[in-house]
Amino acid sequence: MEESRCPESLRMMKRLIAGTKRAFGLHRPGRNLLVFPDDTFLASYPKSGNTWTRFLIANLAFPNSSPDWGNIDRLIPGPEVMSKRDLARMARPRILRTHDCFDPRYKRVIYVVRDPRDVAISQYHHHRKRRVMDDDFPFENFIRRFLAGETCEHGSWKENAGSWLAARSGDPAFLLLRYEDLLVDTAAELSKAASFLGIAATAQQIAHAVERSSASQMRELERAKSDQCALTKDTRQDLPFVRTARSGNWKTEMPVACVAAIEAAWGPLLQWLGYELASVPDAVARTQEFPFSLLEGAAK
C-alpha cells in the first residue's frame, strides 16, 4: 500500500515545487515571457550562427563582462534558460535570443539566416554531440526528418525563416543578417547590428569584438567553460560545439541526392536569399529518384 502511494506522493511533491518556483518567479517562462517594447530579439533557426552572433554582440555591448561560455546566457539569455525573476531584473533595453518562428510580440528583431544545406550538416553533428542520435545514424534518414521539420521543436528551416521573412521583411524594426556575409566581412555586418541596437561603436571597438569572437577564441573559451553553458553542459566533450565555422561544407560533405532534395523542396526561398542551387533545373520533376522518400513532408 505504501509503495502504491509513492508515485502520487512524488507527483504532488513535483507540483508543489513547480508551484513554489512560479510563485517566486524562479521558473523559466519560455513562450510565456513578458515582452517589453524596447526588447530586441536575436532570432534564428537552430545552428544558423545565433551563438556566434551573440558573442559578437555581447563583446560589443558588454566588453567589461568578458563574455564567455559561463556568462553568455546571462548577458544575452533565452527565456528557456533564465528564470522569470532574473529576466525581469535585467537592465533594459534587453537583448534576448530565440529560435521561435514569427511571434508578433517580438517587435525588434535581428534574424540570422544560414544556407539550410549547411544548417543540416551542423545540426546533424550537434545531435551527435547532444547524444540525440548515434554516430552511425544514416544521414539520408536525418535529411528526411530535417525536411519535415522533425529534427527540432522550431519547425522546419523554411517554416522558421519563411515566417519571419514573410511577416517582417522590409520592416525598419527587422534586420536580416546572413551567416555567410558575417563570415566574409564580420566587421561590416556587426556594424549593421550595432547601428540597429543603437550602440555607438568605433571601428576599434568593432574590431576588438570581432577578434574576441573569433572561432579560435570561442573554441578556447568552450574548452575552459563548456560545463557552464546550457548549450554545451552535459553534452559529449569529444565533439566541439564550434566546429568548422565555415560556409559551403555541404558541397563536400552532403550526398548529391540530399542536396537535390533540399533544393527541390526549398529552392525558391534559397534563391530569394541569394543562395545558388547546385542541382539541375528539373530537380523537382525527379523527386521519385531520391532515396528514403526524402521529400515527404518537405512542403513545410
Same domain for 202 and 128? yes
Same domain for 19 and 166? no
What pLDDT is attached to residue 218? 85
8-state DSSP, 135 = T
What pLDDT is attached to residue 235? 76
Same domain for 68 and 154? yes
Dist CA 247 CA 289 (whole Å) = 27
Dist CA 42 CA 111 (whole Å) = 6
Same domain for 127 and 146? yes
Number of H helices, E strands in the chain: 13, 4
Same domain for 149 and 110? yes
What pLDDT is attached to residue 18? 64
Task: Please check whether residue 280 lies inside any domain of the structure.
Answer: no
CATH of the domain at 161: 3.40.50.300
8-state DSSP, 275 = P
Burial 123-157 (b: 16+ CB within 10 A, else e): bbbbbbbeeeeeeeeebbebbbbbbbbebbebbbb
Question: In the structure grid, which three cell numbers stand for residue 129, read together?
Answer: 554531440
- Spell out the per-residue pLDDT of the chain, length 300, in tens: 444 556 777 777 677 666 666 655 657 677 899 999 999 999 999 999 999 999 999 999 999 999 998 899 999 999 988 999 999 999 999 999 999 999 999 999 999 999 999 999 999 988 887 788 888 899 999 999 999 999 999 999 999 999 999 999 999 999 999 999 999 999 999 999 999 999 999 999 999 999 999 988 888 877 877 777 777 777 777 767 667 667 899 999 999 999 999 999 999 999 999 999 997 555 444 444 444 344 444 545
Same domain for 21 and 52? no
Same domain for 144 and 18? no
Counting the structural domains of the chain, the total is 2
**pTM, rounded to two decimals:** 0.84
Same domain for 85 and 181? yes
Among residues 216, 246, 291, the alpha carbon closest in space to that of 117 is found at 246
What is the residue range of 201's domain? 35-243
Task: Please check whether residue 270 lies inside any domain of the structure.
Answer: no
Same domain for 17 and 149? no
Task: Please check whether residue 276 lies inside any domain of the structure.
Answer: no
Task: Please check whether residue 145 lies inside any domain of the structure.
Answer: yes
Task: Please check whether residue 253 lies inside any domain of the structure.
Answer: no
What pLDDT is attached to residue 291? 41
